[in-house]
Amino acid sequence: MNSVANKLLSPILLIAGAAMVIISLIMDFAGSGSSLRGPMLVIGILVFFAGLYLFPTQKHHRKIVYVIFLFPLLFTFAVTVIIPLVLGICYSFTDWTGIRFNSVVGLTNYMTMFKDPAFIWSILITFIFVVLNMVLINLVGFLLALLCTSGIKGGGFFRASYFLPNLIGGIVLGYIWQFVFNNVIIDMTDNISWLARSKTALFAIVVVYIWQYAGYIMLIYITGLTQIPGDVLEAAKIDGANPAQTLFKVKIPMIASTITICTFLTLTSAFKQFDVNMALTNGAGSVANFMGNYLSNGTQMLALNIYNTAISKNNYALGQAKAVFFFIILAVVSLIQVRVSNKKEVEL
C-alpha cells in the first residue's frame, strides 16, 4: 500500500520540483522582477528532494540520503566559492569593467601585469614581508609564550593583554598606529614620520602586524607548551639540565608540530595582508629607482595592489587577472603546507 503510494508520489514530486527550479531559473535569467522566483526556487529544491527521498528503491536509499544531507553545504559552497572562482578566472581573460565586457582579450591582462614594474615591486615586497613576519612573529610569539608559562606573577593578565590587539580589527588598528607614527613618535624620527618613507613605512607595517598577530600565535604556543608531559620536564630537571638545555633539547622538539602549524599560519596570513597595509599607508611611498622606474607604490603589497587595480584604477579585468595569480601562489603555499604537516604527523 505504502510503496504503491510512494511509486506514484515520488515521480510527481521529482518532476514538480525540477519544473519549479527550472522555471525560477529561467525567470531569473530572463530578468523578471517577480519576487516569487526566490521562494519558488527554494520550494522547488525541497519538493525535488522530498521526491528523491521517497524514491522506491532499497539499494540506493542510503546514497540518496547522503546526497540530501550534503546538498545544503555543497550548494552554499558552490554559490559562494566555486561559481565566483570560475567566473573570476573567466573574467580575467576579458576586458570586464565590473558592469559588462565587450571582448575576450586572451592573455593580454596577464602580459600587462608582468610588464608593470609596480606589480613586480608589490610581489617582491610581499615576499620580503612574508619572510620577515614568519620569522619575527614566531619568535616574538614563542618568547611571549615562554614568558606566560614561566609561572610569572599575573601570567593570565599578560596572556590576555598580549592577545588583545588581535581582537581589534586591522583597519582600526592601522588608523591608531598611523596616529602614533605621525603624531606621537615623530619627534624621535627627525620630524619625518616613519610612514612617509617607503623603507621605514614597510618596517612600520611589520611592527604593527607583529603587534597584532604575535598574541594569537602566542596562544597556540602556550597550548603546545602546556601539553608537554610534566614527567619529561621533571626527568630533565633530575638529570641536571639547565633551563637553556631544557628549552632546546626538550621543549622545542616536543612542540615541533606546533611550530609547523604556526609557521604556516603566519605564512598564509602574511601573504593575505591587506587591512593594516591599507589603513597605515594605503600603499603609498616612493621608490627612487626600481628597474629603471620611479614607483609611487612603495608599500603596496599584493592584496592591496589587486584591490587598487580594480577599484581605484577602475580596471576590474586586470585586477581579476592579478587575483588569479595571487590565488595560484596561495594554493601552492597551502598544498606545501598540507604535505609538510602530514609528514610531521607521521613522524610523531
Closest distance to other proteins from the beta carbon of 278 (Å):
9
Contact 131, 266 (CB under 8 A): no
Closest distance to other proteins from the beta carbon of 127 (Å):
21
Distance of CA 77 to the CA centre of its chain: 16
Q: Quick check: 75 binds other proteins (CB under 8 A)?
A: yes
Closest distance to other proteins from the beta carbon of 44 (Å):
12
Q: Quick check: 281 binds other proteins (CB under 8 A)?
A: yes
**C-alpha dihedral (81, 86, 91, 92), degrees to nearest 10:** 100
User: Which of these, 204, 338, 164, lies nearest to 264 by C-alpha position?
Assistant: 338
- Hunting for cell 602549524 — which residue is that? 261
DSSP 295: E
Judged by CB under 8 A, which stretch of 67-75, 148-156, 264-272, 327-335 contacts other proteins? 67-75
Contact 64, 55 (CB under 8 A): yes
Binder to other proteins among 66, 69, 157, 327 (CB under 8 A)?
Answer: 69
Closest distance to other proteins from the beta carbon of 72 (Å):
4
Binder to other proteins among 172, 192, 331, 336 (CB under 8 A)?
Answer: 192
Closest distance to other proteins from the beta carbon of 295 (Å):
8
Cα separation of 114 and 93, whole Å? Answer: 15
Closest distance to other proteins from the beta carbon of 158 (Å):
33
- Select 197 or 272, whichever has its Cβ closest to other proteins: 197
Contact 45, 17 (CB under 8 A): yes
Binder to other proteins among 280, 302, 303, 324 (CB under 8 A)?
Answer: 280
Q: Quick check: 1 binds other proteins (CB under 8 A)?
A: no
CA distances from 197 to 23, 131, 172, 299 (A): 59, 21, 22, 9
Q: Quick check: 117 binds other proteins (CB under 8 A)?
A: yes
Judged by CB under 8 A, which stretch of 139-147, 174-182, 264-272, 328-336 contacts other proteins? 174-182
Q: Quick check: 172 binds other proteins (CB under 8 A)?
A: no
Q: Residue 333 corresponds to which cell in the numbers above? A: 603555499
Binder to other proteins among 10, 122, 193, 263 (CB under 8 A)?
Answer: 193
- Select 118 or 250, whichever has its Cβ closest to other proteins: 118
> How many CB atoms sit inside 10 A of residue 141's CB?
25
Cα separation of 122 and 346, whole Å? Answer: 37
Amino acid identity, position 192: I
Q: Quick check: 17 binds other proteins (CB under 8 A)?
A: no
Binder to other proteins among 161, 182, 226, 227 (CB under 8 A)?
Answer: 182
Q: Residue 49 corresponds to which cell in the numbers above? A: 528532494
- Backbone dihedral region for residue 104 (phi beyond 0: left; psi -120 to 50: alpha; all else: beta): beta
Binders of other proteins in range 288-327 (CB under 8 A) = 288, 293-294, 296-298, 308, 310-316
Cα separation of 107 and 176, whole Å? Answer: 42
- Binding characters for other proteins, 194-233, by CB under 8 A (x = yes): -xxx------------------------------------
Which H or E run contains 31?
Answer: none
Closest distance to other proteins from the beta carbon of 311 (Å):
5
User: DSSP characters for 114-129?
Assistant: HH-HHHHHHHHHHHHH
SS3 297: strand
Instruction: List residues near other proteins by CB under 8 A.
Output: 31, 33, 35, 38-39, 41-42, 69, 72-73, 75-76, 97-99, 112, 115-118, 178, 181-182, 186, 191-193, 195-197, 280-286, 288, 293-294, 296-298, 308, 310-316
